[in-house]
Chain A
Amino acid sequence: DAGVTQSPTHLIKTRGQQVTLRCSPKSGHDTVSWYQQALGQGPQFIFQYYEEEERQRGNFPDRFSGHQFPNYSSELNVNALLLGDSALYLCASSLWSVSGNTIYFGEGSWLTVV
């Protein structure tokens, strides 16, 4: 049973560029969330997708956008990259309808903006 998988694992981008990160949820899961973890800090919620729609959003600018596909996989897009966007981006998957459900995380994508 594959867990949450993310790609790429590491990438370096230049300020002003755009980046796309990808996530496949754990088998059987239908909800995908994205988190940003800056160095030395706890993860911060970016947004969450269920049934191909954004359901919740954290305090992140519109430069951060996402998508969920019919197979439940998801993408995180960040436009006009800033140095401060350098972080570990974590994808998390879960089941929408299960009470007290467990949320599983991928290994993350390390983004460095130079």
Chain B
Amino acid sequence: GNSVTQMEGPVTLSEEAFLTINCTYTATGYPSLFWYVQYPGEGLQLLLKATKADDKGSNKGFEATYRKETTSFHLEKGSVQVSDSAVYFCALSDRVGAGNKLTFGGGTRVLVKP
């Protein structure tokens, strides 16, 4: 079956540091890949997505590139802010189009200190 593995947290950084969260996946076919963010006490917000190999998703300074050869979708941000403190989830959708179902990783908690 499909699965997503992401690095365990917590990841603690200083403001303006570089952030990388590793994500690898196992899937049949050609899944779409997503990063969602969850702020304390809230639901999930889509951060970025990529629907095919070599696509780069980007939003709010975050980037991730769909690497089919390494089955990876690592999240990066060049300079984090305190407001980026949250839990980040990598996810895949195994059917592009009809009936998308998301498979999530376990989440990575990020804490950015001033």
Query: Which residues of chain A have a CB within 8 Å of any CB of chain B?
Result: 4, 31, 33, 35, 40-45, 48, 50, 55-56, 58, 90, 92, 94, 96-108
Contacts and interface: CB of A to CB of B under 8 A. Distances in A.
Contacts of A105: 36, 43-45
B107 A103 contact: no
Interface in B49-76: 49, 51
Given A45-B103, A56-B101, A102 B49 contact: yes
B42 A45 contact: no
Q: Is the interface of A mostly helix, strand, loop or mixed?
A: loop
Given A42-B106, A45-B103, A103 B97 contact: no
Nearest to B49: A102
Nearest to B104: A42
B13 interface: no
Nearest to A98: B97
Contacts of B96: 99-100
Given A41-B106, A42-B105, A105-B43, A31 B99 contact: yes
Given A41-B106, A108-B43, A100 B51 contact: yes
A56 B99 contact: yes
Nearest to B1: A59
Which of A41, A50, A103, A104 has the largest number of chain B CB atoms within 10 A? A103
B107 A42 contact: yes
Contact of B43 (A33, A40, A50, A90): A90
9 contacts: A31-B100, A40-B107, A42-B91, A43-B44, A43-B102, A50-B99, A58-B101, A105-B43, A106-B43
Given A42-B105, A42-B106, A99 B97 contact: yes
A4 to B, nearest CB: 8
